[in-house]
Structure 1
């Protein structure tokens, strides 16, 4: 099956953004997302899949004893992740691919991490379903993203902002992943919501299959 026009457009956008991505994100990482990665990523264990690995900003936070596979739609982003991994002395197996159609067998991983990526995918339900498929029973799903605010004035601003960001870059601000994670059959272990509810971390477990 060929790629959709949306996938091709997204790859083109992220390839173009890649060289300046870390510089553009530096302010948001400090002042919006704060210690979100620090809270989330060290919870990973075993065989880890980093979906939407981007430039590899999670790499410095993984425990030393995990094995890391990274997937991203953008070859330019993957090139930067490869360079970061080399600078950190971390081994990582990088793949170009679509988060909604993961090129991995069922039960291949113990942890799936997705940080600041579900806000940009066309179908977050499909991505979470794929994460569940590739997780072993008892495996962990770890999410970090900007989500719809708990404060109505901020929610309104997010809705207005989306009128520009969705057509331009597929960037959503009024999504929330927790209901989707529950609907996919995960058990939520912990969540943390900050910045007027606009940033949320989720730690969830894929239950063992019945029987």
Structure 2
């Protein structure tokens, strides 16, 4: 795996305030992140990766990889690349990869500005990132760019249904959740529509469809 814990390659150039804030807060959350989210989300991660059906020789990007909780379900994959805005999260991913015997190329990188050439990945994993990253459309456009033709994207996240508007209490709650963790009112259709990616599969992943698992293809 490239780099040492806490010494991952960093992107060139500056970052917007929202991206810097995400880096700060996820570095803060890193020591307790797994204890808070691992058990609840594990079955959803497993299901999403099963739908993606990655092959051992495919080049796979984990965008917003966090502490590497998805690695448990990628044990047969030999060409893994992981990026995250938080070096604290990636330090833990580094240790998890070592325990699992996986080689992972890991870098601190802004998911809205990927430092990869066009059409270089076979598949991308977007778990709990589109509701967090400041500009999810920019993120998905970058994913579209780095995907090979026919490439797949698996999304696991929370979304407001495309045909709904948030009720007053949800709109109010979102003001707090955006600061602490995540936007709860983003709509997948709005994020996907500016791209050429199309939805091949969409299923509920809990809480009455609040969480969803979606498979996209270029």
3-state SS of 1:35 partner: helix
3-state SS of 2:69 partner: coil
After superposition, the Cα gap between the structure-2 partners of 1:90 and 1:191, relative to the gap in structure 1 and judged at 3 Å, is same
After superposition, the Cα gap between the structure-2 partners of 1:195 and 1:170, relative to the gap in structure 1 and judged at 3 Å, is closer
* TM-score, length-scaled by structure 2: 0.84
Q: What is the correspondence of 1:8-47 to structure 2 with a 5 Å cutoff?
A: 8-26=20-38, 29-30=39-40, 33=41, 35-42=43-50, 43=52, 44-45=54-55, 46-47=58-59
* TM-score, length-scaled by structure 1: 0.87
After superposition, the Cα gap between the structure-2 partners of 1:133 and 1:4, relative to the gap in structure 1 and judged at 3 Å, is same
- Residues 7-46 of structure 1, C-alpha deviation per residue, up to 9 Å, x if partnerless? 21211111111001111214xx42xx46221111132341
1:209 aligned partner: none
After superposition, the Cα gap between the structure-2 partners of 1:157 and 1:36, relative to the gap in structure 1 and judged at 3 Å, is farther
1:190 aligned partner: 201
Task: Confirm or deny: 8 A CA contact 2:61 2:82 kept in the other structure.
Answer: yes
Q: Kindly indicate whether residue 184 of structure 2 is the aligned counterpart of residue 176 of structure 1.
A: no
> Which residue among 115, 123, 126 is the counterpart of 1:111?
123
Task: Confirm or deny: 8 A CA contact 1:162 1:172 kept in the other structure.
Answer: yes
Instruction: Please state how far the C-alpha of 1:183 moved relative to its aligned partner.
Output: 3.4
Task: Note the residue ranges of structure 2 that are not aligned, 5 or more in a row.
Answer: 1-12
Q: Kindly indicate whether residue 135 of structure 2 is the aligned counterpart of residue 123 of structure 1.
A: yes
The farther-off stretch of 115-124 and 155-164 is 155-164
Instruction: Please state how far the C-alpha of 1:181 moved relative to its aligned partner.
Output: 2.1
Q: Kindly indicate whether residue 18 of structure 2 is the aligned counterpart of residue 3 of structure 1.
A: no
Task: Confirm or deny: 8 A CA contact 1:187 1:204 kept in the other structure.
Answer: yes
Task: Confirm or deny: 8 A CA contact 1:48 1:110 kept in the other structure.
Answer: yes
Task: Confirm or deny: 8 A CA contact 1:141 1:203 kept in the other structure.
Answer: yes
Q: What is the CA–CA distance in structure 2 between the aligned matches of 1:198 and 1:116, rounded to whole Å? A: 12
Q: What is the CA–CA distance in structure 1 between the aligned matches of 2:189 and 2:112, rounded to whole Å? A: 18
Instruction: Please state how far the C-alpha of 1:155 moved relative to its aligned partner.
Output: 5.6
